[in-house]
C-alpha cells in the first residue's frame, strides 16, 4: 500500500465551518472594541503631542502652543512654534491667525467619529461635581508651554461616536501633562 498525504473534502468543510463560526462571533466584538481603541489612540497621541510642544518650547527657549480648533469640521488641532506678528496664539491662516504651524492633527483621521466632547462624563477632571462645562478649558483654546516647560493649565476632552467613553488630556500649570479616562463613575 502507498501512503498519501493531504486532507479530504470533509476536513476542508469542517475547518471552514469552524472558521465561519469564529468569524461570526468575532466581528461584533471587534466592531465594538475598535471605536474605543481609536479614541484611546487619539488621546495618547494628543498626550504625546503635548510632550512635543513642551520639549519644543524648552529646546527653542521660546513659547510653543497647541491650538485647538473645535469650530472646524472635522475637529483638529495645531502644534505651533511661534505666535506670529500679532503675538496671539490664534492658530494658522486657516483659523484666521498667523501662527507658525509645525504639525496639524485632524481628528477625523482616527475614524469612529473622534471629536471634542466629554461623552457621558458627569464630573469634570478637577472633580467639581458637575459635567465639564467646556470641552476645551484652556484660555483661547490654546495650551501654551513656556521655555521653562510650564503651562497655562487646562484640559481637552475627547469622545467618539458612541459617546460612552471619553478621555481628558491636559496640563497643570507646573507643566505636568496628564491623561485620564472616564470609567463611568470617575476619571482614572
Considering the domain boundaries, does residue 100 fall inside one? yes
Question: Which 8-state DSSP code applies to residue 30?
Answer: H
- Parts of the chain with a pLDDT under 70: 1-2, 29-30
C-alpha torsion sign, points 100, 103, 106, 112: negative
pLDDT, residue 9, reads: 86
Residue 91: all three cell numbers together:
492658530
Which structural domain range is residue 144 located in? 39-181
pLDDT, residue 1, reads: 62
Domain count for the chain: 1
Distance (Å, whole) CA 71 – CA 57: 26
CATH of the domain at 121: 3.55.40.10
pLDDT, residue 61, reads: 98
pLDDT, residue 163, reads: 78
Considering the domain boundaries, does residue 27 fall inside one? no
Considering the domain boundaries, does residue 165 fall inside one? yes
Amino acid at each position: 500500500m502507498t501512503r498519501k498525504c493531504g486532507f479530504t473534502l470533509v476536513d476542508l468543510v469542517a475547518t471552514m465551518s469552524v472558521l465561519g463560526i469564529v468569524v461570526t462571533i468575532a466581528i461584533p466584538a471587534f466592531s465594538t472594541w475598535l471605536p474605543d481603541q481609536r479614541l484611546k489612540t487619539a488621546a495618547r497621541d494628543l498626550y504625546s503631542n503635548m510632550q512635543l510642544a513642551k520639549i519644543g518650547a524648552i529646546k527653542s527657549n521660546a513659547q510653543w502652543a497647541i491650538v485647538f480648533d473645535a469650530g472646524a469640521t472635522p475637529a483638529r488641532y495645531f502644534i505651533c512654534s511661534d505666535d506670529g506678528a500679532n503675538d496671539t496664539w490664534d492658530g494658522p491662516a486657516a483659523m484666521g491667525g498667523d501662527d507658525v504651524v509645525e504639525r496639524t492633527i485632524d481628528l477625523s483621521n482616527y475614524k469612529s467619529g473622534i471629536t471634542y466632547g466629554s461623552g457621558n462624563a458627569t464630573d469634570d477632571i478637577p472633580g467639581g461635581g458637575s459635567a465639564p462645562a467646556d470641552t476645551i478649558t484652556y484660555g483661547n483654546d490654546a495650551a501654551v508651554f513656556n521655555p521653562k516647560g510650564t503651562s497655562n493649565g487646562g484640559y481637552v476632552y475627547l469622545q467618539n461616536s458612541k459617546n460612552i467613553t471619553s478621555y481628558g488630556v491636559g496640563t497643570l500649570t507646573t507643566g505636568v501633562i496628564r491623561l485620564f479616562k472616564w470609567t463611568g463613575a470617575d476619571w482614572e
